[in-house]
Amino acid sequence: MVCETKIVADEHEAIAGTKKDSIIVSSSQMWTSSSPSPSALESKVEKRDQVFIREFERSDHEEVRRIFTEGIMERIPNSAFRGLKQQTRTQFIYAFLTVMCYVMTKSFTLTFCAPFILMGARYYYSRKVILNYLDCALHTDMADIEGYYMKPTGSCFWVAVLQGQVVGIVAAQGREDDNTVELRRMSVDSHFRGKGIAKALGRRVLEFAMLNNYSAVVLGTTAVKMAAHKLYESLGFRRVGETEDYTLPGMTRSSLERLFFQIRYSRYRLQLHEE
């Protein structure tokens, strides 16, 4: 199993915009500030609602891995069941197999059970593939966040902190070949969603890209839920391509795996300025 993640540079160099002001976000408003306002410090109620976005620290590692793992594990049922709605060809194949079950066996009982067996197989292979992908990620960039994101010039990793707890993560990885930065590893703790944290993390990456003079921000996602796609569009991203039968790192591409696991990969781009 091979899982590759591009490293931009071996050593970290200080560049303009690499270290930036922190972002403070309330549940009703998002704004940037180099230091907390006096009113925010004086009001305990407001302070509880504020999300503070800062750069990754070593002490965050366990919480970061937990949030990332939780987000990836959610994709197992989403890919197995919700994802089927996007796979018209697969729906036809499953219907054909169900009909053939009756033709071959003349058994109403087996025919009735066939869809449940097919869905069980989808869940099994979705779990197998996604666990392989998770293992791959946890042994590459998510095992060495400092080496992959904090040390290379033009890359960074941030955490969102609410009430002293890490509740969200996002990374930016610079690409020198086309002067773009990739938004990666965005995830928010399921207990703290709906507070604008994901949008604030996304804006952090956009700010980083502008301060470092990147021409565009790009991202790729296999998210099944429409909420994720609407989030990217609300940040200004435009969908520029899709791959219907995408190969995740860790996939074997066996015939059974291809029959019971399919995933759509969407590519987004936000152009900041022309080259």
What are the C-alpha distances in Å from 238 to residues 45, 202, 218? 37, 14, 9
Lowest mean pLDDT among 8-12, 88-92, 98-102, 236-240: 8-12
DSSP-assigned beta bridge partners for residue 159: 54, 169
What's the pLDDT at 23? Answer: 52
Query: Could you please report the per-residue DSSP string of 233-244?
Result: HHTT-EEEEEES
Q: Going by DSSP bridges, is the β-strand pair 265-271/238-243 parallel, antiparallel, or unpaired?
A: antiparallel
- Quickly state the pLDDT bin for 18 (edges 50, 70, 90): very low
What's the pLDDT at 55? Answer: 95
What's the pLDDT at 275? Answer: 61
253: left (phi over 0), alpha (psi -120 to 50) or beta: left
Using CA atoms, how far apart are residues 20 and 18, in angstroms rounded to an integer? 6
Question: Could you report the per-residue pLDDT of 239-250, keeping only the tens digit for each?
Answer: 999 988 888 887
What's the pLDDT at 181? Answer: 95
What's the pLDDT at 3? Answer: 47
Using CA atoms, how far apart are residues 261 and 251, in angstroms rounded to an integer? 10
What's the pLDDT at 11? Answer: 34
pLDDT at 227 over 90: no
Averaged pLDDT score across all residues of the chain:
84
Question: Could you report the per-residue pLDDT of 152-174, keeping only the tens digit for each?
Answer: 989 999 999 998 899 999 999 99
Question: Could you report the per-residue pLDDT of 68-80, keeping only the tens digit for each?
Answer: 999 999 999 999 9
pLDDT at 28 over 80: no
pLDDT at 198 over 60: yes
What's the pLDDT at 34? Answer: 42
Locate 253 and state its tokens: 């591409």
What's the pLDDT at 44? Answer: 53
Percent of the chain with pLDDT strictly greater than 70 = 82
pTM attached to this predicted model: 0.80
pLDDT at 142 over 80: yes
pLDDT at 35 over 60: no
pLDDT at 178 over 50: yes
Where are the strands (E) in 96-210, listed by range? 156-162, 165-175, 180-188
Q: Going by DSSP bridges, is the β-strand pair 180-188/238-243 parallel, antiparallel, or unpaired?
A: unpaired
What's the pLDDT at 47? Answer: 59
Question: Could you report the per-residue pLDDT of 200-213, keeping only the tens digit for each?
Answer: 999 999 999 999 99
What's the pLDDT at 244? Answer: 85
Q: Which helix (H) or strand (E) holds 116?
A: helix 108-138
